[in-house]
């Protein structure tokens, strides 16, 4: 259950969906369909102070994420999304960035793993280009290091739990590069239930600083090879005219 659960790691806004440090078994495939509905009436200014926006901001997103075990250590992952948003200055709808990447497990022990990930993302021109996508016609690259550890908590009824940390550099075409940090913790309660708590942070590394810290709590229910995840995302902090978004998310995933 630990390996399956970390594959449902969600991401900060803006961001990309990434699987966890544990690879899929050779020949296995996992598909995740996810819907998010974020709203904001406040935002964080250039000093990080939370202030009311001139008008409410709405962002809706539907995404599909697919990963496939090429070998016992190498996993192919792909993602595509549709976005819709509206505020005082923009009204957009269309395809978001499409990403394809490879994740390779470099270290494996009985309970721990370390992997590296490299990806290419393309954001084509469209009504939302330059607003929610990385940029009109942009070609972006990402390098990511992922480390995870799972264990049985004897002091907590023998429940299985895991913690995972991911650090990444996003090389963006036409926009400032970004550093990102994702931390996820999960614990089983019952044979088919898991609680996930996640924190996603990021910042630009050049030009005017833009930074964000988001948290998400969710519950995952497994039904055989199917799983259902439902949760809530909340903006904790930001800087550089970042909206303080919050809202529900729901995901359905299937293991083949």
**What residues of the chain score a pLDDT lower than 50?**
1-18, 126-135
Residue 183, exposed/middle/buried by CB under 10 A (0-12, 13-18, 19+)?
A: middle
pLDDT (0 to 100) of residue 16: 32
pLDDT (0 to 100) of residue 241: 86
d(CA 41, CA 156): 40
The model carries a pTM of: 0.84
For the chain, give the longest Cα–Cα distance: 54
* Residues facing 181 on adjacent strands: 167, 201
Q: What angle do CA 250, 97, 42 make, to 5 degrees?
A: 60
pLDDT (0 to 100) of residue 97: 84
Helices (H), 103-183: none
pLDDT (0 to 100) of residue 251: 96
How many Cβ atoms from other residues are within 10 Å of residue 157's Cβ?
Answer: 9
Computed from CA positions of residues 66, 62, 87, 96, in that sequence, does the dihedral angle turn out positive or negative?
positive
pLDDT (0 to 100) of residue 124: 64
Stated as kind and residue range, the H or E segment containing 2 is: helix 2-6
How many Cβ atoms from other residues are within 10 Å of residue 100's Cβ?
Answer: 14
Q: What are phi and psi of 155, to 5 degrees?
A: -75, -5
d(CA 198, CA 38): 17
């Amino acid at each position: 259950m630990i390996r399956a659960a970390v594959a449902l790691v969600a991401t900060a806004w803006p961001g990309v969906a990434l699987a966890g440090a544990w690879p899929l078994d050779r020949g296995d495939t996992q598909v995740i369909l996810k819907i998010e509905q974020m709203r904001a009436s406040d935002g964080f200014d250039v000093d990080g102070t939370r202030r009311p926006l001139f008008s409410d901001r709405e962002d809706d997103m539907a995404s599909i994420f697919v990963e496939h075990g090429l070998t016992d250590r190498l996993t192919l992952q792909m993602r595509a999304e549709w976005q819709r948003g509206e505020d005082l200055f923009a009204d957009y709808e269309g395809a978001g960035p499409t990403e394809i990447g490879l994740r390779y497990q470099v270290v494996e022990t009985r309970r721990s793993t370390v992997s590296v990930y490299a990806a290419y993302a393309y954001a084509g021109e469209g009504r939302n280009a330059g607003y929610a996508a990385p940029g009109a016609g942009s070609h972006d690259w990402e390098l990511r290091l992922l480390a995870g550890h799972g264990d049985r908590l004897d002091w907590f009824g023998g429940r299985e739990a895991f913690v995972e940390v991911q650090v990444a550099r996003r090389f963006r075409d036409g926009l400032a590069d970004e550093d990102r940090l994702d931390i996820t913790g999960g614990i089983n309660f019952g044979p088919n239930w898991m609680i996930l708590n996640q924190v996603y942070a990021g910042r630009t590394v050049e030009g005017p600083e833009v930074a964000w810290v988001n948290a998400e709590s969710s519950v995952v229910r497994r039904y055989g090879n199917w799983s259902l995840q439902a949760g809530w995302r909340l903006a904790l902090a930001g800087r550089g005219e970042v909206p303080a978004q919050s809202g529900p998310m729901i995901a359905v995933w299937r293991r083949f």
